[in-house]
Amino acid sequence: MQIQPLTRLLRFISALVIIVLAVYGLYTLFRPQRSGSTSAQRVETVALGPISRGDILSQFRVITVERQYRIPVIGRSYKPLPDAATGGVIGMIAKDLLGNRDSVPGTTTNLVYDMVTSVTMGIDLAKLQEGDIVNGDRVTTLTLPKPEVIAVVHDSTQSKIFSKDSPKLPYLDNSAALLTELQRTGTLKHRAEAENDDALLAKAENEARRSLKGLLEQVHPGREVYILFKNSSKTTK
């Protein structure tokens, strides 16, 4: 009959010892370390090298994308009237009879030049300044130049010229002077179209972001690179 109380006492003492050891272990684990303690936690820091303009230009000069445009150009072909100053008597008579007309009546043909070009949009990294690169301890922010039209290349194979009044018939008088003038006008028109093409601008920005971010984070392990563009409030990691 005396064994049962003794067993209870031993169980109580064992439980008490376990609780004391658990409390001591938690205290040892979480107690503040004294400055002079040899068991203080060791903290190591790694200095990340900054990204410079030279790092970027050593790999990239211009980052480009392309898009083809097919935009018609309106023009006309005509036989010019003799100039009054240089055409002599005929020029003077023509001016008196026809006033300020520049063409012989009945000789004008209205034209449509179905012009095809490949437009290159790009980011010229030579315009990047050191002040456009901001290095923090682990984060670098680049402010890149805005994408711009770098080239408009005329495709003479796909481009066609025809009379506006008879589009099914080929226009045979494709003189060099006429084509040069139509192409000059068309180049300006295609360039303006590309400069206002939001999809092409976004494509150029995305390509620059993809190329630069991938390279710089590979060359500078541990750095996070954020890229934004001038005249834009949008920042993308």
Q: Which pLDDT value is given to residue 40?
A: 53
pLDDT digits (tens, 9 = 90+) for 132-179: 999 999 999 999 999 999 999 999 899 988 888 777 666 767 678 888
For the cut 50, the answer to whether the pLDDT of residue 235 exceeds it is no
Confidence of residue 106 (pLDDT cuts 50, 70, 90): low
Residue 170 neighbours by CB under 8 Å, 6+ apart: 162
Indicate the pTM of the whole model.
0.65
Q: How confident is the model at residue 75 (pLDDT cuts 50, 70, 90)?
A: confident
CA distance 91 to 119: 44
To the nearest whole number, what is the mean pLDDT of the chain?
79
What's the pLDDT band for 64 if we cut at 50, 70, 90? very high
Which range among 4-13, 25-34, 151-160, 179-188 shows the weakest confidence by mean pLDDT?
Answer: 25-34
- pLDDT, residue 205, reads 95
Who's near 51: CB < 8 A, 6+ residues apart?
Answer: 133, 135, 140, 142, 216, 220, 223, 225
Strand intervals (E) in 19-59: none
CB distance 140 to 51 below 8 Å: yes
